[in-house]
Structure 1
Amino acid sequence: MKPISFKRHRFPADVIRQAVWLYFRFTLSIRDVEELLAQRGIEVSRETVRCWVIKFGPLIAANLRRRRQPPTGRWHLDEMYVRIGGRKMWLWRAVDDEGEVLDVLVQKRRNKAVALKLLRRLLRNPGVHPETITTDKLASYGAAVRELGLKGVHRPGGMQANNRAENSHLPIRRREWKQQKFKSQGSAQRFLSTHAAVYNTFNLQEHLIRRSTLRTFRAAAHRAWAEATAAA
Structure 2
Amino acid sequence: MLATKGMRFPIDVILVCIRWYAAYPLSYRHLEEMMQERGVFVDHSSINRWAIRFLPLLEKVFRKHKRPVGGSWRMDETYIKVKGVWKYLYRAVDKEGKTVDFLLTAQRDKAAAVRFFDKAMKASGVPEKVTLDKSSANKAAMDEINARGEMPIIVRQIKYLNNIVEQDHRAIKRVTKPMLNFKSFRAAKNVLAGIELMHMIRKGQLLLEGGIKLSFADQFYVLSGQIRPV
* Whole-Å separation in 2 of the counterparts to 1:152 and 1:202: 29
Distance 1:88 1:46, change over 3 A: closer
Q: Does 1:121 align with 2:92?
A: no
Runs of 4+ residues over 3 Å off in structure 1: 220-223
| 1:220 Cα offset (Å) | 5.4
In structure 2, distance between residues paired with 1:124 and 1:71: 13
Q: CA deviation at 1:55?
A: 1.6
Distance (Å, rounded) in 2 between the aligned partners of 1:57 and 1:83: 19
Q: Which deviations, in whole Å up to 9, do the C-alpha atoms of 1:107-163 show, x marking residues without a partner?
A: 23222111111111111115x3312211101112222222222754211112x2200
What amino acid sits opposite 1:47 in the alignment?
S
Structure 2 spans left out of the alignment, 5+ residues: 205-210
Change (3 A) 1:50 1:89: closer
Matched residues in 2 for 1:93 and 1:224: separation? 23
Distance 2:221 2:84 in 1: 38
Q: CA deviation at 1:177?
A: 2.3
Structure 1: stretches of 5+ with no match in the other structure: 205-215
Task: Write out per-residue CA displacement over residues 4-34 of structure 1, whole angstroms, 9 at most, x where no aligned residue.
Answer: 1222222221111111111111111111111
Root-mean-square deviation (Å): 2.3
Percent of pairs with identical residues = 29
Indicate the residue corresponding to 2:219 in structure 1: 224
Q: Is 1:136 the counterpart of 2:133 in the alignment?
A: yes
Inter-CA distance 176–142: structure 2 relative to 1 (3 Å threshold): same
**Counterpart amino acid of residue 104 in structure 2:** V
Letter of the 2:73 partner, please give it: W
**Kindly tell me: are residues 86 and 221 of structure 1, through their superposed partners in 2, closer, same or farther at Cα, counting changes over 3 Å?**
closer
Give the Cα–Cα distance (whole angstroms) in 1 for the partners of residues 221 and 177 of structure 2: 29
Instruction: Provide the rounded CA distance (Å) in 2 between the counterparts of 1:162 and 1:118.
Output: 17
Answer yes or no: is the 8 Å Cα contact 1:90–1:106 preserved in 2: yes
Shift of 1:170: 0.9
Q: 1:13-24, aligned counterparts within 5 Å?
A: 13-24=11-22
TM-score with structure 1 length normalisation? 0.83
Aligned equivalent of 1:109, options 107, 112, 123: 107
Which residue is 1:201 aligned to? 201
- 27 and 217 in structure 1: CA distance in 2 versus 1, 3 angstrom threshold: farther
Distance in 2 (alpha carbons) for counterparts of 1:35 and 1:217: 33
